[in-house]
Each structure stands twice: as structure tokens, then as C-alpha cells.
A and B are shown apart, each in its own frame.
Chain A
Amino acid sequence: MTGDPEVVLALALGVLFAAGTFLVLRRDLVRVVFGVLVLSQATNVYLITMGGIGGVAPILGHGGETTDPLVQALVLTAVVIGFATTALLLVLVYRTYQEHGSIDLDDIQGAVR
């Protein structure tokens, strides 16, 4: 297998994780949600690369080197779980906004403490 697509994916993963981490550390709660989203998507991309890329579809009789289908099943599960938790998180952020009148964590913490 050639290295090229994997190098591109590795670089993309680095950028995604960096962006996700940066966003999670923001004060704005909505950006934190985006950060969590980016992080979980980056994880999914990483999982896909674990199964190898560039092989053919793993169907009996297609021949040639196949891609591992198991990681794709894992990613499907992870995507579904991520979808549900993100929806819940968005609702919680909205409720936090309703209760505190702000989504800036410094404002909220200052009011609570």
C-alpha cells in the first residue's frame, strides 16, 4: 500500500484534533460544543484509518486486498452515540442559557461563585 493517502489523513487528523482541542478550551459554550463535535469526528476518521484504506470492498469473491469492515461498523456505532449525546448537550447548553442568561463561562461562573 502506498503511503500517500495515509499521510494526507494523518495531517488532516492532526489539524482536526488541534482545532477540536482549541475550541473545547474556549469560554463560549457553543464553541465548546463545536469542539467536542470536531474531536469526536476526528476520532471517527482515525478509527477508519485503523482499518486500512485503499483496499476493495470486503465482499466474498471480489478478490484483491480488502479493507477491514469491522472498524467501519465501530464508527457507525460511535456516530450514532455521538449524535445522541451531542443533541443532549445542545439542549443542556440552551437550558444553561435560559437559566443564566449567558453562554460565556466566565460570566456564568462569576455569577455562581
Chain B
Amino acid sequence: MTTSLVIAPVLVALVTAITCIFVRFDPRVQRACSIIGVVGYSAAVFALLARIWPANTLAYQLGDWPAPYGITLVADPLSGFLLALTAVVAPLTLIYSVRHLNPPGQRVSYHTLFHFLLVGATGAFLTGDIFNLFVWFEVTLMASYGLVAFYSDRDGTLAATRYVVLNLVGSSLMLLAVGGLYGVTGTLNMADMARWLAAASPAEATPVLGLSLLLLAVFALKAGLVPFQWWVPSAYAAAPAPAAAMLAGVAKKVGVYAIIRVGFVVFAAADPTFTLGGLAGDLLAAYGPVLFALAGASILVGGLVALDRPTFEETLAYSSIGQVGFIVLPLAVAAAVPALRTVGVAAALVYTLNHALAKPLLFLVGGIVEDATGTTELDVLGGLAGRSPTLAGVFLVGGLSLVGIPPLAGFFGKLLVFRTAALGDATAALGVAVLGAVLTIAYVSRMWNRAFWGERTDAVASMTDPDPVRLAIVVVLAGCIVAVGVGFGPVYGFAEAAGHVATGPGRDAYVRAVLGGGVA
């Protein structure tokens, strides 16, 4: 039973979600349950991390059915990295939500939806089975549908409908791809599929290429990459600020994680002499140009459109499209250049960590501003820096981290993205990254100039004092960003250990842990 800890985070979040339904008769009890649950979740994740650290892989066979016949949950550094950032963002966001949302809304559904979102994301990070990944996606999505439709007003209903329709089409496509992969490889277990691909001849593996690109499109939809970004701005603007923080900070990262796990761990296992048309190299090499197109378009579209959005949260939503582009850019380079797999995945993970801390921080600052002034229109705001220096300081930390100023976490994110592109001799990727960096500086300084500097407008002059608890939460998040930047050594060490799973020996260790003894 040494590996049963792997399932603990999922169980804690699931029990909390269900408990929150049954204790809704008393809002105080419900809030207490919810907060205790999320703290327990973080404790479970960090207990698991202590076992994974520095580079172990644990596999837990559900119901003791041996892999590949049963469902396997696998905790390796890649899963651990994403679980860790979830375990930091989730408790802060939840405590913020308790102060932010009106009591009736919390009582009916919010806490349950929040914890089901955690269940889904955690399950997706841990599962070693590709159909099970589909199920966890659906759990995450069901919860996020509820969060997007939370206010259920004019814009909210339309945004939620759009979000649901797009994702239902995405789910159908994913099911098609999963079914096809099962038909071709005869297995759903990711480790077993990697083993099958490693032994398959190029002719046998060819159908997998098309099916895997179908999967990639679905993951890009979940991650909100261009050209699948249509749901992002309306959904983030419609959701309550803390829910938008969770969607941008955690739910989007499920798509990024799936690209790494399925693309770099499973499909990269195919015979390295695989060729198709003009494309040589392994199966993953075909991903290179596709990922680059998605990442480049996201960086440019997100950055350009963010330049003239009228409100705080719309600017942040488009910024989040651009930032996910930055996460995928090193993956594109790494897919095309096999020698850079570890470096590229590590760069993507560090950037993911930066975005998962900075973007929720900015959404939460937006929520505080909206609560205190009654608006997030950049035209109506001005002079916030003089009115609330703490809030301004926190915004600056988050904004500068997006830009990439040392010693913040974002500096290392940008540095590693540029380094991967330079090592891969990818001039086009470097060019897009530089352009994207300039655009980021432009829209962050625009928000800063409009909302925080300048003359105090009427809305700001008559604003109420920001809630100290919520202010403390964003200060803690800002502290995390600084801490990651200052103590970057161990963070990068762990990201590199996670990236190692994208190499031959790392993949072998993963396969051994799942199909062999459960520990590697």
C-alpha cells in the first residue's frame, strides 16, 4: 500500500465537494468545511510531493487491477509540478472567494463547483489512462460550465452557452481520437501505448499521427490557443473574479499538461526513423510546425487584442491567450529538435508556474478594484496608486512578472523560453517571442497608466477601502512570485526532473513504474 497516497488529493477534493452539498443548510459550516477541505487537499498534495521529490514515480492501480487492464494513477515530477501550483493557488483563491461572493451564491453551488474543478484537474494530472483523461476533462468542464454561468446574467448565459457548445464538440473529437487510438494500438493505458509505439513499425504507427493531431486540437481548445480561443474572453469576463482566476490558473493548464503528457511522453515513443511525406524524425517532430503555428498566432493575437480592450478582465483574458502561447512556444521547438526535449518541457513548466501565479493575482486584483469602485472600465479608473498603494504594488509585481523582470518568476520563464528557441536555432520562434514580449510590456503598462497612475477619477475618489483579507491574499500571491524568482534553483531542478520524462530513459522509468512494480 506504499503507493496509495497517489489517490489522496483526488479523494480529499471529492469528499469535500460532496460534503459541501450536504452542509448547505448552514453557510458557516459549509464555508468551514470548504476551507478545511482545500487545506487538506494542499496537505495531501505536498505529502505526495515529498514522496516524488526529487525525481521518483509512483503508480497506483485502482482496485488492484493490474495495468494495462485497470486504471492507473501515476504521480511523477511532471504531475507533481502541476499539482504543486494547483495546491498553492487553490486555497488562496477559495479564501478570497468566501469574502468576494454573495452568501446565497456560495450556499447554492459555488463551493461544490470549486472543489469539483479541483477533482477534475487533479484527476487529469494524475491519470495514466487516456480514456480516463477524457473523463477527468469532463469533470473539470462540468464544474467550469457552472462557474462561467454563475451570475447567469445577459452576457453570462451567452458566454456559458458558447463555452459548453465548443467544449461538447471538442469532447466528441477527443472521443473519436481516443477510440481510434484504441482501435490502432489496442490499449488505453498511456505507458502501454508508449511501449506499443516503441515496438511498432513506421507503417503501423502512421494512423496514430492523424489521431494524435486530432487530440492536439482538443487540448489546444482546452488551453485556449488560437484558433480555438473564442470562448476565453467572454467566459473569463462572465465568471466571478476568483473563478476566472481558477480557470486561467488551473483549468487551462490541464490542456497544456495533456499536450506534454500525451505528446511528449506517449507519442514521442514511436520509432525515431518514422517518416511521412517530407517530415522526418519521430512522430512528435510532426507536432513542431503545428505547435509553432498555434503558439505564434496565440502570442500575436492575444498581445495585439489586449492592447485596446476596455476593461480589466478582458485585457487579462486576451493576455492569457498570449501567455499560453509563450508556454507552448518552447514545446514547439522541443518537438522539432529531439535533443531539446528536457529543456523545452522544463521551460514550458516554469512559464506555466509563472502564469499560474501571476494571472490569478491580476484577476483577483481586478476583483478587488471592481468591488471597491464598482467598475473595471479602464477609462473610468485612474489614480488607484495614490488611493491604495498596496493594491498598486501587488498589481505591479504581477504585471512585471508577466513582462519578465528579475527577480520575479516571470524573468526565468521568459529567459528559458528564449534560451530554448536560441538553442534550437529557431529564428522565427525567437522573433515571435521578442514581439510578444514587447506587446506584453505595452498592454501591462497601458493598464498601469490608465488605472493606477494619473489623476484620481470620481470612481476612485469615492471608492471604499479594499477588504484587508482579500488584499492579504494577493500580497501572499505576490510573495510567492518573488519567492519563486529568488529561490529559483530547486524550482528549476524539479522542472528539469519533470522534463526528463520526455526523454528515452525518463519514459522507460515511467513505463516501468506503471507496468512493473509501481515505484521507479
Residues in chain A within 8 A of chain B (CB atoms): 24, 29, 32-33, 36, 39-40, 42-44, 46-47, 50, 70-71, 74, 77-78, 81, 84-86, 88-89, 92-93, 95-96, 98-100, 108, 112
Contact = CB atoms under 8 A, between A and B. Distances in A.
23 contacts: A29-B161, A32-B165, A36-B169, A39-B172, A40-B175, A42-B172, A43-B172, A43-B175, A43-B179, A47-B179, A50-B183, A71-B182, A74-B178, A81-B171, A84-B142, A85-B141, A85-B171, A86-B168, A89-B165, A92-B149, A92-B157, A92-B160, A100-B157
Contacts of A92: 145, 149, 157, 160-161, 164
Nearest to B184: A50
A17 B47 CA distance: 47
A108 B155 CA distance: 10
Contacts of A81: 135, 138, 171
A105 B475 CA distance: 42
A69 B157 CA distance: 40
Dominant secondary structure at the B interface:
helix
Nearest to B132: A77
B176 A43 contact: yes
Contacts of A78: 175
A77 B165 contact: no
A89 B164 contact: yes
Nearest to B138: A81
A89 B164 CA distance: 7
A40 B152 contact: no
A89 B160 CA distance: 9
Contacts of A85: 138, 141-142, 145, 164, 168, 171
Contact of A112 (B141, B154, B161, B176): B154
Given A39-B169, A39-B172, A88-B142, A96 B179 contact: no
A108 to B, nearest CB: 6
A33 to B, nearest CB: 8
Nearest to A40: B172
A36 B157 contact: no
B158 interface: yes
A50 B179 contact: yes
Given A74-B131, A85-B138, A36 B154 contact: no
Contacts, number: 85
B26 interface: no
B64 interface: no
A40 B178 CA distance: 14
A89 B168 contact: yes
A74 B188 CA distance: 11
A46 B168 CA distance: 16
Given A24-B169, A40-B172, A85-B168, A93 B179 contact: no
A40 B168 contact: yes
B464 to A, nearest CB: 30
A11 B284 CA distance: 32
A36 B176 contact: no
B180 interface: yes
Contacts of B161: 29, 89, 92-93, 96
A95 B165 contact: no
A42 B169 CA distance: 12
Contacts of B153: 99
B158 A46 contact: no
A70 B196 CA distance: 18
Given A81-B135, A96-B157, A100-B158, 10 more contacts: A24-B165, A29-B161, A40-B168, A43-B179, A71-B182, A84-B142, A86-B168, A92-B145, A92-B157, A100-B154
B179 A46 contact: yes
A112 B158 contact: yes
A42 B168 CA distance: 13
Contacts of A108: 158
Nearest to A86: B168
A81 B141 CA distance: 11
Contacts of B165: 24, 32-33, 36, 89
A11 to B, nearest CB: 17
